[in-house]
Structure formats: C-alpha cells, structure tokens
Amino acid sequence: MKRLNPYVAMLVAVFLAVPIPIVAASHREAPLTALDHAADITDFFAFVSYDDPTKVTFILCVDPFLEPANGPNYFPFDPDVLYSIKIDNNYDALEDITFNFQFTTQIQAPGLFTGFVGAGGGIGGVIPPAITSLTGAGAAGLSLKQTYTVNMVTGTGANATTTNLTSGVTPIAVPSNIGPRTMPNYPALAKQGIFSLGNGVSVFAGTVDDPFYIDLGATFDSLNFRPGAYSLGTPPLMSAQEDANNSYNQAADMLSGYNVNCIAIQVPISMVTANGKSTIGAWGVTSRAAMTVRSAGPSVGSGGYVQVQRMGNPLINELIIGTGDKDNWSRSIPSQDAQFAHYALNPLLATVFNTVFGIAVPPAPRNDLLFLVQYLPLITGDPTIPAGPVADVLRLNTKIPPTAMASRSRLGVLGGDNAGFPNGRRVSDDVTDIAMRAVAGALAGYSYRLGDGVNTNDVGYQETFPYVQWANSGYSRRHINPGDDTCFAVFSAPCAK
C-alpha cells in the first residue's frame, strides 16, 4: 500500500478541487480521507481505565484496512501528520487540553530491501538476527524505526502552554507483525512499546489489530443483513437470546485480519478534569503539514498544520453527514457543528430503516438524538451540567467506574452498562448496533433489537493498557468471509475458529 507523499498530495488537491461523486465506505468515510489514508481516523475511544479507575485512556486509530502481509515497507505513521487528542473540560466544545503526537522516521539499514528483516547467520552474517527488541542488539533488523514525541498543550491561542511529556524519554512505535521468523515473539516485542512518561502517564503507539467489528458489506449494501445472522430472529431484528450474547458472531467480521495504526495515552483523571467537573468531552484530530496538502475548502489549522479530519462519536460522519458535507465536517471544529444539526434532527438513515424493513421510526425533528451531541443527563448523569453547544465530542463521566469484564455489555448504556458508549467508548462497545437502535428510536420509546449479526471482535481485546489487541501476523493473517465458520470470542480471548 503506497503512502501519500507531498507530490501525491498535490495531485490529490487537484482532484479535490473538482466535485467528485465518491460515496466512501466504513473507515474511508469522506472523499478527502479516502485518498489520504495516513490521516484517516478510523476510531476514537475514551474510557475510564479498566484496571485503574483513577485514570482515563484515550485511543486514536488511523490508516484503515492495513493488510498485514503487504510489505516490504509496511505501515509507519506519517511524519507530516500531527496526531492530536483534544479534551474539553468546561462544556463549551473547545479544547482545554491537547495531546500532540509527532513521529520521526529513521532508516537504519539503507541496504536492506525491506523495512524489517531478521533471520541471522548466512554468508558474511549480513542478515540481522530475529527481531526481539525495540532497542539494542535484538533490534538490528528494525531498519525502519519510528520514534515520537508527546506534547501536552493547556489552553489555546496566546494563553496556551506546552509541556514536553517525553522529555528524557524516547518512545518507539511498535512495527507491524511480520511473521514468526522475523519476529518470533511478537507479543513480547509489542509490550516493549508501552512507555511510562512519569506522573502516572503511559503511552503506546504502533500497528495493532483493528478493534472495530462490523459486517461491512451487508451494512453498505443498503443494510442487506444476512438471513443466516438471525437464526432465531427475523432480519434485522435479533432474538433476545442472540442479542444477549456478547461473544458470538453469526455474520462475518469483515475487518477481521486487518490492522490499523493506533496511539494510546493513559493519564490520571485529575490531569484532564477541572474545577470538580467530572465530565469531559474528547475527540481526535489529524492535521497535515501545510506544505503537503492543499485544502479543497474551508478548514482550520495553526502552527503550519491544516486539519484533515476529526472524530468524536463513532459513525457520525459515516452514517449521518451527507456526502456533500463530509469533507467540510471533517475540517471544521466541534463548536461549529450547529450548521450540521439538520442531519441528526432528520437522519436519512432512519428513512432507510423504514423503507428497507418497513419499521416505524420517530418523526422529525429527532430531538432524541441530541444526546450524542450535547452534555445531557443520559451521559453525564448530572442535570445541573449545561448542555453546551451542539458539538460532536465523545462525552465521558469519569466518576462512573469501569464495569468488570464478566458484567460488561457490548450495548453500553442501552444494555444497562453505564460505563460504555455513549458514556465514552470502550474498544469492545458494539457501536454499530447501538447507533442503529438509536437512529431507529431507542431513546424515543421505539424498541427494536437491530443488529448486523457481529457482536464481538474476531481476536478479542486486552484488559490492560493499551487494551487493543496486538497486530495480526503477515504470515498467518486470516480474513473471515461470508460463509466461513462463525467465530466465538470473549472480551479478552480470541474467537474459537
């Protein structure tokens, strides 16, 4: 898979200057990001840490559909992209705290034909030994090495202050999982990518299994859900038994076997809250160095960077915003989202449900959907908090403790689990099913057990930071297709094939 360089970016700008009829799917949800994969945010998560409720974890994933076997250079982060996690802690949808991640690439063995190689021995010993470490002798095969800095910006504009959280520490991004000969113990290698920055802050960056799960083909074929996914119910209505099972997939997870690049940071809750306010709003942003992109329309930017995309709640730009506004939405800021409110107040997706399945949906205006874009009691649990402006930020009440794995519901708040989406978002939350039910009127008294038949990720998750699962191996990756055996999983264990 080729990367976007400055020359390609110029060509992209030329194409974007002319209206083009692109209807993007899944992670490539807007015309601009469909062409700029490295800056394409696939998912954003914010939740109280499972194993330490005094901390909150933010995860920003980018660069969709990374085929693990696609060498020889694999998938580094783009040094021309600034990856940011922004946090609002006073309910005005403007960032009060920003964590900025900037990557640097080093080619340490320019004579090698690939980014990573390790086998040892051979004529003259020119091939490095297997890669067992991110540093030292075991890292000799890491020709393509990326380090990064983390800066914490407090405030905005002239009043902003910046703190280099990586002062004295040089975090290294975890590379793709090439295979067992090159990287014989990849989990041990990946764990070395967790760095403590002091003051209770931990970071991780690298290639991981895509944590999102969905029957992608069925969803974008006008919700053509597979009859086999509803062995007990009637498509798209799951039976109570199917709905209650958090660990069984009756349809193919079409993101199975694919990787993404993820950045994770875990910080004390006290670092991101202010004045006793426990609820925060968070979103991820990617910005490209101004010299490498030419915006095709209004955009925001500062310090030599132009915003390419943002993401707060899942599936908003993907399933709610109209294609003609997707790029404008991506390049605007949350506090300006009132201009897009009509998409949420009269969502076309609800009409699709009515047309395809014949189910009644609430009439417009859909004020019940404002819970996603305002600080309302459903999420905050506190009716005294001002609703604030209409803004797509992921809201999280940090006082709600994490739910133990055994009691966790993939349906989050709709499943009686208030530690899940839309109170923040955990990696295991089934936001596809939650979003479909919300659009169909779950908060307006309309009870439909809508679902795509995919209830869990194909390889599970981890219960400790960084919570996502390590990258799929290029040597042994498997993509689950329609008609393959269904798979079972629990939150922290892989599916049984």
Q: Summarize pLDDT for 65-74 with one digit per residue, the tens.
A: 999 999 998 9
User: Is 280 among the domain residues?
Assistant: yes
Do the beta carbons of residue 398 and residue 46 sit within 8 Å? no
User: Is 260 among the domain residues?
Assistant: yes
User: Is 69 among the domain residues?
Assistant: yes
- What confidence tier does 316 reach under pLDDT thresholds 50, 70, 90? confident
Q: Express as a percent the part of the chain with pLDDT over 90.
A: 62
User: Is 361 among the domain residues?
Assistant: yes
Q: What's the average model confidence in pLDDT over 240-263?
A: 92
Give the mean pLDDT of the chain: 87
Minimal CA–CA distance to 448: which of 460, 435, 457? 435
Q: Is the pLDDT reported for residue 303 higher than 80?
A: no
User: Is 18 among the domain residues?
Assistant: yes
pLDDT score, position 123: 66
Q: What's the average model confidence in pLDDT over 298-311?
A: 77
Q: What's the average model confidence in pLDDT over 212-232?
A: 88
pLDDT score, position 341: 87
Q: What's the average model confidence in pLDDT over 55-75?
A: 95
Q: What is the pLDDT of residues 384-442, one digit of tens each?
A: 889 999 999 999 999 999 999 999 999 999 999 999 999 999 999 999 999 999 999 99
Minimal CA–CA distance to 375: which of 284, 285, 278, 269? 278
Predicted TM-score (pTM) of this structure: 0.90
Minimal CA–CA distance to 294: which of 3, 2, 15, 1? 15
pLDDT score, position 124: 66
User: Is 190 among the domain residues?
Assistant: yes
Q: What's the average model confidence in pLDDT over 89-108?
A: 96
Q: Is the pLDDT reported for residue 92 higher than 90?
A: yes
User: Is 1 among the domain residues?
Assistant: no
Give bridge partners of residue 67 from the DSSP assignment: none
Residues 6+ apart with CB under 8 A from 303: none
Question: Tokens 């021995």, residue?
Answer: 121
Q: What's the structural domain count of the chain? A: 1
Domain containing residue 20: 6-496
Q: Is the pLDDT reported for residue 32 higher than 50?
A: yes
pLDDT score, position 11: 27
Do the beta carbons of residue 32 and residue 55 sit within 8 Å? no
User: Is 404 among the domain residues?
Assistant: yes
- What confidence tier does 9 reach under pLDDT thresholds 50, 70, 90? very low
Top-confidence residue, 58 or 120 = 58
Q: What's the average model confidence in pLDDT over 244-254?
A: 88
